Structure 1
Amino acid sequence: MAWKSRTRSLQVVDTELSADSVEWCPVAQSHDVLVCGTYQLQKGEGDEDAPPNRTGRLYLFEFSGDGSIGPPLTELQRMDTAAILDLKWCHVPLSGRPVLGMAAATGQLQLYALWESAEGQRSLQTLSSTEVGAERLVLSLDWSTGRMDSSDVRVACSDSAGCVGVFSFAEGALTPLSQWKAHDFEAWITAFSYWDTQLLFSGGDDCKLKGWDLRAGPSTPAFTSKRHSMGVCSVHSSTHREHVVATGSYDEHVLLWDGRNMRQPISDTPTGGGVWRLKWHPTHQHLLLAACMHNDFHILHCKQAFEGSEGACPVVASYILHNSLAYGADWSRLSPEGPASCSPPSTAPEESPAEGGGHLRIQYESPTASFDTSLEDDAGRYIPEGIAAPSITPTASPALNTEDYAASVSCLLASCSFYDHMLHVWRWDWTPEESRQDPDPD
């Protein structure tokens, strides 16, 4: 079955400071909540020996998909903070509220609770703060609750000193359980195995991917893999398939692993850019979102790898409207409303046929209030101005089992890029060719 894949920008927001993390809230009744974290390095003026000042800002947004002409994303709150390296929501409510974890450049792990006033106004309020270590940056964090298990809530974090720490959560506060030296250089990432939360993964600038059995203690890793040739900076455990974990690296490869055999990955996909973040789709088990730094954002389809096929996972969609390092990316659990369209922030959608077979001219308002024009081909790929739109025959996406997907897939996503300090909200639609054909009039 042939499929048509299209991405559409819904809104662009200027975050003013360099943006590196976006996260949709996974807690029911709060799926329309989005946060974005920023990181700005400011060197001391006139004093080369002065330590750099790292500042940040935390944004809280609400998404409305009611189809109105206005922008779907509304800013609810902005909070000046230390520079933010990572943001992660706890997957389950804690004490009845969604809780957000923040990895800060001050060496602190900070928690915020999402409150809602009697008038329905939402805001983030400080819940607790724990120092991970002096003179270090907390680089990543993860919650043990990926499979919606709230029986033993813990948080793991990694830092610039190469250490990994684990904390328990109770009564609104974090309590340290253990901390150890895991990597020779920066420990860019740590993540729980959501199926066995006594197993923890970590990746570092020493090019090593390691596993840790918390029951045995951190003196010796359960495994060490040197399969990546550069620093390991992303790890995400699948919540749908036990033992499956995805890793990414500065070496520009996404590897899929079966946790029962960490000697050889089950799939190796080159992405053309360092893989800073990986996110499995919350409901579609075969879809993997990759933020690829110098090469934009891509959606991989991993079904063939799970079935034992060798080779790379096909890229079924790419979003390339960012103009800087692709860092933060996340799937929303909301379903986009209405037909696929590109909605500018303050005007009705405008689409007109472009020159050359079947391309669309998309207009959207840039943060500078000027209107930019871009071209997309039938696969949703960007074509710069001044370049003739070629006649392209879309390649067939991998055949899908109708038991896995309905007639079409529509997803809402958010992504952010660093030096141009941009947050994009966009949708992806994947439609079988048959469903787009006009019915036989007879």
Structure 2
Amino acid sequence: MSWKSKTRSLQVFDTELSADTVEWCPITEWHNILACGTYQLQKGPDAVSEEAATRIGRLYLFQFRQQGPMCPPLNELQRIDTPAILDLKWCHVPVSERPLLGMATASGELQLHRLLESQESSCVLKNVGCLELGPDRLALSLDWSTGRADSSDVRIVSSDSAGCVNVLSLGEDSVTATAQWKAHDFEAWISAFSYWDTQLVYSGGDDCKLKGWDLRMGSSSPTFTSKRHSMGVCSLHSSPHREHILATGSYDEQVLLWDERNMRQPISESALGGGVWRLKWHPTHEHLLLAACMHNDFHILHCQQALEGSGGACSVLASYILHNSLAYGADWSQFTLEKPRPCSPLEATKLTQGPAESHTGGHLRIQYESPTASFDTSLEDDLGRYIPESSPQPAPSSGASPPLCPTLTGDGAAVSCLMASCSFYDHMLHVWRWDWSPLEEGCTEKAPDEGESKETVD
């Protein structure tokens, strides 16, 4: 069975300030709530250096609603002016029965915002706690200990520009530092919990080192130090689905998958290009990994073969290439989308016709739809037939396209995901969907006539 992978932009939003982090709420009743953070270096007339400039930011709160093809789905609920924001993370479990958002800022603060109901709109964020990590530093990242939706141990780990890692405990309406230590020689770009043993913490820094820490043993020395990345380590994410699995990314443009029991050698290495700023495992599909690759767009990786021990690079199932600046923030939503429009017989051509005789590599087709500024992207051969993005280009005599890889679900059912991504200098937030579905026999997409745009309907 052949499979079809397709991305479709649903809405583009101008954040005015440079956008660098996005997070969908993981709590069931609020899966359609999205937070976006921005970072802007504001230089005054007398600011001769970056240190003298002011770093400002803005926190946006949105609600996603499927209201039909003529209505933009993203509804802005709130905007809050803040210090520049470098990272956002929702706690994976309710705290005091409400969602709680953590925010790392350029003022060196860890801020907590609780999602509350509002009469004016569906909900708003309220600041309920703040802790300064230390003077003259930027808070660069944070992670919650609750990645497996376990509410028995709610803590935060954060890293900062002084090279320190900070562990914080949560009170009713406060956050308290329980440990802080110098972990890296330069900026500690990223820190994260092992979701299976939350006494284990990982950090990555601009000194090109990936380190592990056991909080039970103190912080005098790491449990391991890896120099496998050749440049600064800037992304980490522990798998919430498989024990011992850790994904790391770096300015060296590599995504490495590790077995935490043996940190001498990664189990997989994938070259994505552009510098891997953020990695996010899918919240329910254990083989899917989302990568934000700075100078090389956003990619969805399929990691099943690597996780099952066969080694090799993870395959790219889909790429979202419609941003025009640094690809920084990206996240999956667990919101349930309506099913995509099925293939119409009027659009179908027989798969048995085979590939084009003069295959030149494919063309990107953008299908525009107004007024939501939404458009489809798909890769096609010279005859207008769909080319799955991760499949090798077939030789002229190969016949029908081969299957891409194992299915994502045990029954081979289609998967539709709601995504958000943001880019820096063009200050843009994109909300888009990714559909991964079996291509029925005798059904493939047909290109429109030259000059014709194809309207798509949810």
Q: Same fold (TM over 0.5)?
A: yes
Amino acid at match of 2:16: E
1: CA distance, partners of 2:263 / 2:135: 34
Paired residues of 2:259 and 2:266 also in contact (CA < 8 A): yes
Aligned pairs, number = 414
1: CA distance, partners of 2:185 / 2:208: 10
2: CA distance, partners of 1:94 / 1:149: 12
SS at match of 1:242: coil
Q: 1:431 aligns with which of 417, 437, 446?
A: 437
1: CA distance, partners of 2:92 / 2:408: 29
Amino acid at match of 1:15: T
Question: Which residue number corresponds to residue 363 of structure 1?
Answer: 368
2: CA distance, partners of 1:363 / 1:97: 39
SS at match of 2:217: coil
1:364 to partner: Cα distance? 4.7
Question: Which residue number corresponds to residue 216 of structure 2?
Answer: 215
Structure 1 unaligned runs (5+)? Answer: 342-350, 380-387
Question: Which residue number corresponds to residue 160 of structure 1?
Answer: 161
Paired residues of 1:8 and 1:340 also in contact (CA < 8 A): no
Question: Which residue number corresponds to residue 376 of structure 1?
Answer: 378
Distance 1:393 1:333, change over 3 A: closer
Question: Which residue number corresponds to residue 276 of structure 1?
Answer: 277
Question: Which residue number corresponds to residue 43 of structure 2?
Answer: 43
1:66-100 C-alpha deviation (Å, 9 max, x unpaired): 43521000000001100000000000010011000
RMSD between aligned alpha carbons?
2.5
Distance 1:12 1:299, change over 3 A: same
Paired residues of 1:273 and 1:294 also in contact (CA < 8 A): yes
1: CA distance, partners of 2:425 / 2:121: 35
1: CA distance, partners of 2:303 / 2:65: 31
1:336 to partner: Cα distance? 1.5
1: CA distance, partners of 2:408 / 2:125: 41
Question: Which residue number corresponds to residue 309 of structure 1?
Answer: 310
SS at match of 1:434: coil
Distance 1:405 1:263, change over 3 A: farther
Structure 2 unaligned runs (5+)? Answer: 348-359, 392-401, 445-458
Matched, 1:333 2:339: no
TM-score under structure 2 normalisation?
0.85
Paired residues of 1:141 and 1:157 also in contact (CA < 8 A): yes
Distance 1:118 1:78, change over 3 A: closer
What fraction of aligned residue pairs are identical, expressed as a percent?
A: 65
1:404 to partner: Cα distance? 3.2
Matched, 1:264 2:261: no
2: CA distance, partners of 1:340 / 1:312: 32
Paired residues of 1:275 and 1:292 also in contact (CA < 8 A): yes
Q: 2:416 aligns with which of 388, 404, 410?
A: 410
SS at match of 1:377: strand
TM-score under structure 1 normalisation?
0.88
Question: Which residue number corresponds to residue 115 of structure 1?
Answer: 116
1:47 to partner: Cα distance? 4.0
Amino acid at match of 2:256: L
1:150-195 C-alpha deviation (Å, 9 max, x unpaired): 1111000000000000000021211111000000000000000000
2: CA distance, partners of 1:121 / 1:80: 20
SS at match of 2:440: helix
1:403 to partner: Cα distance? 5.3
1: CA distance, partners of 2:47 / 2:408: 63
Return structure 1 stretches of 4+ with deviation > 3 angstroms: 356-361, 371-376, 388-394, 401-406, 434-438
2: CA distance, partners of 1:413 / 1:224: 34
1:358 to partner: Cα distance? 9.5
Matched, 1:247 2:248: yes
SS at match of 2:150: coil
Amino acid at match of 1:28: T
